[in-house]
A and B are shown apart, each in its own frame.
Chain A
Amino acid sequence: MTDLVGDPAIVLAGVRKSYGRTLAVRNLSLEVPRGELFAFLGPNGAGKTTTIKMIVGLLRPDEGYVRVCGLAIGSNGVAAKARLAYVPDQPFIYDKLTGREFLYFVAEMFGITTQHRDRKLNTLIRRLDIGEFLDHLTESYSHGMKQKVVLAAALLHEPAVLVVDEPMVGLDPRTVRSVKDLFTEHTRGGGTVFMSTHTLEIAETLADRIGIIHRGELIAVGTLNQLKTQARREHSLEDVFLQLTEVGDEGVSDG
């Protein structure tokens, strides 16, 4: 796939988004380079999902712009989306398709050849342990089973940028380990993972950099050590997160 190799995987520049009178994201600027696993943290309603939806092209920023691999998601959407994969917190699968039929559909949608699809799919079936139910209709799947199939669909075309919203919810510990390994391998292979999560332990152990959004504002970005320095905390990411978002609260109420 032709790619603008020199450009960062994700660029958000001066992005603002509101829902009616509610300002969900304000003046958000962020660059995520290729090969990085970026963890996006924030309290409920902070603007994480809105930001993710703007990255994948579901929402348009009121101000600013979003680029994926150098391509504007607004004006060059199809080309940008060909380099993207998105796993939402509530995954969508056609309930009257089997998991395998769904994965074949996704493979065809991204133009993957049959040979490559079968090779990649065999690996994913083994790694995510989905072989047992893959030929059943997806309407019979539990949340965790759906999540696994959607993850397989996202990784099938080896996207340059993988955007995931709460990827570990509903997964058993063994699959959580597999997903962690798959994400790490993906970034080692030059891919980028942009992950929103409330599970701080995962962010702490996996992420190259962490961003914290609070009330629509990106209040901190950096490695774990940089965030600890910023928060003047020596302990866990949990302490850092609580300290920074508490300061954010004070800032807002003072303001």
Chain B
Amino acid sequence: MDENPALDAAGAKLGLLFAVRGQTVANRITQAVRDAPLRLAAAVLLIGLIWMGLYGLFRLVFVQLSRTPLEATVAIPLVFNFFFVAMLALLTFSNAIIAYGALFGKAESPYLLTLPIAPLDVVTFKYLECLVLSSWSLILLGLPMMFAMAATSEEPMFYLFFLAFFLAFIPIPGAIGLLLAWGVARFFPRRATRAVTLATALALVVVIVTALRSMQPGETATEVWLRAFLTRMSFVQSAMLPNNWVAAGIDHALHGQFPVSFRYLGVTLANAFFLSWIAVRLVSGYFDGAYDRASSGRGGGRRLAAEASGGPAGWVFFYLPLPLRLIAAKDLRTFFRDPAQWSQLTILFGLLVLYLTNMPTLRLEFSASGWFLFIPFLNLCAVSLILATFTCRFVFPLMSLEGQKLWLMGVLPLPRGRVLLAKFAFSMTVTVLVAVGAMSLAAFMLNLDMVWTAIHLVVTMSICFGLCGFSVGIGARLPMFGQNNVARIASGLGGTTNLLASVALVAIVLTGVGLATWQSKYLAANTLPDARSLILCAVAALVAIVAGVMALRVGAKHFNRVEV
């Protein structure tokens, strides 16, 4: 066979992997421009709007801070410190998730492993790809911040330094994430998702508890409190943490002290390269073994999950007729057996519960000031937005996924439209149980009176109704049949439509309740709201229910005649 000796050169196959990825991206863009120019334009427009919004917000903060030079000297490095420490945590987590999927998933990795490529080339390629995929959010958030910062600075070199610090910082969480992903595959192959979920939940709990502890009872938003708060959070500014190098470097660049800034940039770059080198070498050296363990370990723990979910699935939907009960119970079992679903719901509401149970430590004296309704209202906002996230991410794809088994639905002695009812019953049951539980806890912790508790619970249930109706109805009207990936279904055209509709619905309902809350702000605790407030809340709840019913009807009509 004729062979090309040039390919024996080191890195030649790495270049080939990048070339093929570049080709797929080019084809994807060509396809998007040709087939869906409006969608592409809408995406670019939305990104532009987000950037402008963020720019405005950051600029407001920095202009405000620069008016008081003394505070600015303290606060601006602190803002950067917190920003980059948050980014360090978020990017480490997202890199770990992306790297795990990229290296140990079932798509491209097994294919590459059968080709004559050295593991070092595969891991290097995947690592660099993960850096790009995970850091776009940092760029999205960071660039408007950079421009806002630069607008308040007179140093033209500032842009270059800021960008250089960004790029130098990104590989640090990337390398940690890569090592974490490899560690999970190597040491927790049978419980990879569960291990990542538990580690994340634990990390979040530690962060929340630390934050809550930093707000000690009795302290109010005064200089004393601020000083005490900064002292408690001083560990964030440790000289050993990369967020501190970046924050200090940017701050020095902002004040024109470029030699010092350059030194910090050197420290950041050296650490980024060193960590990346260690991570890539270690992971590629033991890649085959870790891949083998990740592949061989899959499939454990099913029996326990079946027993745990089989019981409740049978009786939770007692109120449904048998065929619908079977479908809803099947969805509940799937929910319990998919850690991505139950863990996200648990984490979101777990954090909410943690916050709610810690509310007394905040010592908010709202009951005396007549503003006692605003904290419960903000709780309602938080619960509603979490619900919208959950329904858009997990309820919306249900119909698309069911579409792949439409032949099964087609041969069942059941009108197809009733499948929607089963999906609706399933999602409504799960969301109502969790959301009403959280809102009841919030009302109890705040000692909210019975009338407002009842109002909030009714509104919560109506929001559940509307959001579930939207996700199931729009899911049936704009499905993505043939797609197994839940994330892709949720981020497609139908998913985006559902997200926008859900956010709009939540905004409308909360506006109604917000107006009623505003109207009642001067009422003393345990006083009945006036008729206008009650009507506003009732109308808000009714809007959610009517919107949900309409979405379900539209979805059922389309689903009845759909052909797959």
Give A contacts to B, CB under 8 Å: 1, 17-20, 53, 56-60, 74, 77-79, 81-82, 84, 86, 88, 92, 94, 96-98, 101, 105-106, 108-113, 115-116, 137, 157-158
Contact = CB atoms under 8 A, between A and B. Distances in A.
Contacts of B297: 19-20
Contacts of B289: 60
Contacts of A18: 296
B2 A84 contact: no
B111 A92 contact: yes
B190 A20 contact: yes
Contacts of A81: 114-116
Interface stretch (B21-29, B75-83, B135-143, B454-462): B21-29
A97 B3 contact: no
B288 A74 contact: yes
Contacts of B118: 78
Nearest to A60: B292
Contacts of B2: 112-113, 115-116
Contact of A158 (B1, B4, B107, B113): B1
A211 B23 CA distance: 42
Given A20-B300, A112-B4, A116-B2, A137 B115 contact: no
B3 A112 contact: yes
B283 to A, nearest CB: 16
Contacts of A101: 20, 23, 27
A57 B114 contact: yes
Interface string B186-217: 00001000000000000000000000000000
A105 B298 CA distance: 31
Interface of B: 1-5, 7-8, 13, 16, 19-20, 23-25, 27-28, 31, 107-108, 110-111, 113-119, 190, 288-289, 291-292, 295-300
Nearest to B118: A78
15 contacts: A19-B298, A20-B297, A53-B295, A58-B110, A60-B289, A79-B116, A92-B107, A92-B111, A96-B28, A101-B23, A105-B16, A105-B20, A108-B7, A109-B115, A111-B3
B288 to A, nearest CB: 7
A18 B299 CA distance: 12
Contacts of B20: 94, 97, 101, 105
B296 A137 contact: no
A116 B4 CA distance: 10
Contacts of A96: 24-25, 27-28, 31
A115 B291 CA distance: 36
A225 B187 CA distance: 48
Contacts of B1: 1, 112, 116, 157-158
A58 B295 contact: yes
B480 to A, nearest CB: 13
A184 to B, nearest CB: 20
A86 B114 CA distance: 7
Contacts, number: 97
Given A58-B292, A82-B116, A92-B111, 20 more contacts: A1-B1, A19-B299, A58-B110, A58-B295, A59-B292, A59-B295, A74-B288, A78-B118, A81-B114, A81-B116, A92-B110, A96-B31, A105-B19, A108-B7, A110-B115, A111-B5, A112-B1, A112-B2, A113-B4, A158-B1
A165 to B, nearest CB: 12
Nearest to A101: B23
A111 B289 CA distance: 27
Contacts of A106: 115
A94 B118 CA distance: 20
A74 B286 CA distance: 12
A20 B524 CA distance: 63
Nearest to A82: B116
Contacts of A59: 292, 295-296
B489 to A, nearest CB: 16
Contacts of B299: 19-20
Most chain B CB atoms below 10 A, which of A20, A74, A78, A111: A111
A19 B232 CA distance: 48
Which of the listed residues B19, B28, B110, B291 has the most CB atoms from chain A within 10 Å of its own CB? B110
Contacts of A111: 3-5, 7-8
A112 B7 CA distance: 9
Nearest to A94: B24
A185 B25 CA distance: 38
Contacts of A53: 295
B296 A109 contact: no
Nearest to B293: A60
A101 B118 CA distance: 22
Contacts of A158: 1
Nearest to A154: B114
A116 B2 CA distance: 6
B296 A97 contact: no
B289 to A, nearest CB: 7
Contacts of A92: 107-108, 110-111
A189 to B, nearest CB: 11
B3 A78 contact: no
B293 to A, nearest CB: 9
Given A58-B295, A92-B110, A97-B27, A1 B300 contact: no
Contact of B116 (A74, A78, A97): A78
A20 to B, nearest CB: 5
Contacts of A74: 288
A115 B1 CA distance: 11
A77 B288 contact: yes
A17 B296 contact: yes
- Count chain A CB atoms within 10 A of each CB in B16, B118, B295 and give the residue with the most: B295
A216 to B, nearest CB: 14
Nearest to B110: A58
Nearest to A116: B2
Contacts of A108: 4, 7, 16
B483 to A, nearest CB: 11
Contacts of A84: 114
A108 B3 CA distance: 9
Contacts of B110: 58, 88, 92
Contacts of A78: 116-118
